[in-house]
Amino acid sequence: MGRLPDTFAGQRISPMRPPFVMSGSLTMPSATGPTQFPASTFMVTEDKPFEIHRMIPRVIALDASSNPAEGVAEDLMLRLISVQVLDLGKNQEFTKQAVPLHDLIKGTTERTWEWAEPYYLRKGENFIINLTSATYPAVLAGLSIRVQISFGGFLVVVAPPSDRG
Amino acid sequence: MGRLPATYAGMPIMFRCPAVMHTSLIAGASTHGLSFQTGPVTHASDKPFEVHRMIPRVSGLDVSSVFVGTQPDEDIMSALISITIRDFGKNRALTKGLTLLANFVRGSAERTWEWADPYYMKQGDGFEIRGQTQPFPAGFAPVLLKVDIAFEGFEIVLAPPTDRR
């Protein structure tokens, strides 16, 4: 868990932080070039700033009928999918190039990309996320991988300016 | 997680954007003189990169460079390759000699090299990573190993100089 700042843009953050998550999923066949999530998937539409503490990538194998398939290790699938993240609002790239999902997370118990210092998105700002898949091995023949990415954190309630300072 | 300094080069740090630099290499058994591409791990942005951890990962590939369906234990794979790291911008070695990837990480749950005090890279600084692989054990399914190395942290936004200081 990262730090919890007292202020946002110079204004005091209320002690009440409603937990918030923003997520989207995309199904990736084998050996597929950069595929973008719809731009609206990761756009903040709330009127409160979104304070993001972590990115959580998850993968699951799907059969031809888009039903979950068993027997494929998540650890293998995380190696097969690479991701690029851009904050379009600030034109800030988070990744210099596509990074395999298993190279973003810390380990087996903490399967997240933790941000010790939270990152803020204002209303109308969004992440552009592109996924790339490698050639799948035989254990994934006929299967695709559904990638679910979520950003977890809080909406921050910012105290309004007042004559009390 | 390491500490989050308030200043850089005497200037207040105003904002942190999550960032990751990643490079990879594919190698067979008993190969010496390996060199990772430096371009992907050369810092090109005008904001300093505050690095908090290195994340090494190893995957097994078959002769066609496709991921093998049943990945060997990562503890075994990360004991088959050793690397040296040098920040060529500061001509600063981060390893005295070749070090097994398995010796960088804390354990199986937290497979990262955590830097309690973050390391900074300016525009044009980069990591030169060289390595070598050991002979693969008998009965080892992969023919090749794919080594991914990521550096995670933040790009930092500094307060501009003002006439108040």
Give me the domains of chain A, ranges plus CATH numbers.
19-155 (2.60.120)
pLDDT at B84: 97
Q: Which of B60, B153, B71, B146 is nearest to B112 (CA)?
A: B153
pLDDT at A162: 63
Buried b (16+ CB within 10 A) or exposed e, A40-53: ebbbbeeebbbbbb
CA B61 from chain center: how many Å?
20
**Chain A contact set for B17 (CB, 8 A):** 87, 90, 92, 94, 119
Least confident interval from B86-90, B97-101, B106-110: B106-110
- By the CB < 8 Å criterion, does A114 face chain B? yes
pLDDT in tens, chain A (165 residues): 678 888 888 888 887 889 999 999 999 999 999 999 999 999 999 999 999 999 999 999 999 999 999 889 999 999 999 999 999 999 999 999 999 999 999 888 888 999 999 999 999 999 999 999 999 999 999 999 999 999 999 999 887 766 654
pLDDT at B164: 58
Q: Is the pLDDT of residue B162 over 80?
A: no
CA distances from B110 to A91, A109, A120, B1, B102 (A): 31, 7, 26, 11, 12
Q: Å from A109 to nearest chain B CA?
A: 5
pLDDT at A10: 80
pLDDT at A160: 72
Give me the domains of chain B, ranges plus CATH numbers.
32-153 (2.60.120)
pLDDT at A51: 95
**Whole-angstrom Cα distance, residue B2 to residue B53?**
9
Q: Is the pLDDT of residue B138 over 80?
A: yes
Percent of chain B with pLDDT over 70: 96
- By the CB < 8 Å criterion, does A67 face chain B? no
- Closest Cβ–Cβ partner in A2, A79, A90 for B59: A79
Q: Å from B2 to nearest chain A CA?
A: 8
Q: Are B108 and A108 inside 8 Å of each other by CB?
A: yes
